Structures are given as structure tokens and as C-alpha cells.
Amino acid sequence: MTVATRTTQECLDGLIADITNYDAGMYEPKTPVAKEETVLFNIIDDELMRKSYIAMMFAQREHKQAKINLGFDGLSEAEATPILNAFDAKADALREIFWWLLRERYNLWEQFDIGIRTGWILVKKKSDEPPKALKLSFE
């Protein structure tokens, strides 16, 4: 039987603290707007949105760095797997939170192919492929 080490509230509080503790000016998206992309608007005024993006990017970086570090630490696969799984799950959760927050705050549920570019510009990418949810049959 697995014994919980933290409450659910503690886990959520920790995730929220991870997001809010980042400096909103410490990282900016590096990809410029491409000529085939449509600029929707700028999210520079939304500090918490920027922090959630930064948290997502750093979690992804931490996951990649952990893979490298654990490879040199001499851990067995059985020892490394739970550590990597935790980093991977956190990165996934923060990615989902960021995109959910962005779509919910700005009512972008009809926009399926969007991205953040240099200067905190939200763009619609050029895509002829409809989102998977729209391909479903509702008969």
C-alpha cells in the first residue's frame, strides 16, 4: 500500500507556488513571428500568464536535464524511472495548465493552432488540418 506523503491541497499549492514564484521577466519566447502566421494579440500585460509559460518551459528543461544527470549518476533504470516520471508529469501538467489558462482567459477555444512568439505575441499558425475534436462525428 502506498502512503501519501502530501495532501492534494499541498500538491496543488506547490504547483501554484512554482508558477507564481518565477520572475515574469526572466525568460521570453525566442521564436519570431513567421510571415505565414497571423498575429492575434499581445499577452505582455498578463504577468501570471507569462509566469505560467515560464514555469512550463523550465519544467520541460528540468526534465531534459534530469535525463542527462541521471544517466551520469549511476542509477539503475528502476531507480531513475520514478524520478523522470515525476519531472515528465510536472512538465505535462504545466503545459496543459498554460494552454488551458490562455484559451479560457481569452476565449480561444475555437483557435486550435496557436503559439507564443518573441515579445509575448500570440499567433495563429498556418494550418489546413482541423483539430482532432472537430474531426469527431457527433451523430
* Residue 111 dihedral angles phi and psi, to the nearest 5°: -90, 115
At 20, the pLDDT band (50, 70, 90 cuts) reads very high
Residue among 6, 12, 10 at smallest CA distance from 97:
12
Helices and strands counted in the chain (H then E): 4, 3
The region that residue 111 occupies, defined by phi over 0 for left and psi between -120 and 50 for alpha, beta otherwise, is beta
Cα gap 105→116, rounded to integer Å: 15
At 4, the pLDDT band (50, 70, 90 cuts) reads confident
pLDDT at 127 over 80: no
Query: pLDDT (tens digit, 9 = 90+) per residue, 88-116?
Result: 999 999 999 999 999 999 999 988 899 99
pLDDT at 51 over 90: yes
The reported pLDDT for the residue numbered 132 is 61
Any idea what the Cα angle at residue 114 is, between residues 133 and 99, rounded to 5°? 75
b/e string for 38-73 if b means 16 or more Cβ within 10 A?
eeeeebeebeebbbbbbbbbbbbeebeebeeebeee
The reported pLDDT for the residue numbered 121 is 94
pLDDT at 139 over 80: no
Mean pLDDT for the chain?
86
